[in-house]
Amino acid sequence: SQQGEEDPQALSIQEGENATMNCSYKTSINNLQWYRQNSGRGLVHLILIRSNEREKHSGRLRVTLDTSKKSSSLLITASRAADTASYFCALNTGNQFYFGTGTSLTVIP
């Protein structure tokens, strides 16, 4: 499968701490995207990194991409209770998207 694999599956941290989640994949990609899903809701796009980029920032989010290792990481700094959600990486290989299995993040106030 070209599906991304994320780790950890679940992560619990205190408010104010940083959260890091990782995505590994097997195929060549055009870009890699990260999405957030609050319980019972649709997915919301967070950030996109192209295959020729190594790092990207957006507010409290930092994404890295290592195409030689076929891996990406998402760092959320200074976490807040409102960051509690599931986070998914999505691989774009052209016409199609392949989603990872997700990391469930709980931020304890």
Report CA dihedral (15, 17, 18, 20) to the nearest 10 degrees.
Answer: -80
Q: Shortest gap between Cβ of 54 and other proteins (angstroms)?
A: 19
Q: How far is the CB of 42 from other proteins (least distance, A)?
A: 4
Nearer to other proteins, 37 or 64 (CB): 37
Judged by beta carbon, residue 15 or residue 71, the one nearer other proteins is 71
CB-wise, 15 or 67, nearer to other proteins?
67
Distance (Å, whole) CA 38 – CA 51: 27
* Among 101, 105, 66, 102, residue whose Cα is nearest residue 85: 105
- Which of 71, 91, 82 has the alpha carbon at shortest distance from 20? 71
Which positions touch other proteins (CB under 8 A)?
A: 3-4, 30-31, 33, 35, 41-45, 48, 88, 90, 92, 94-102
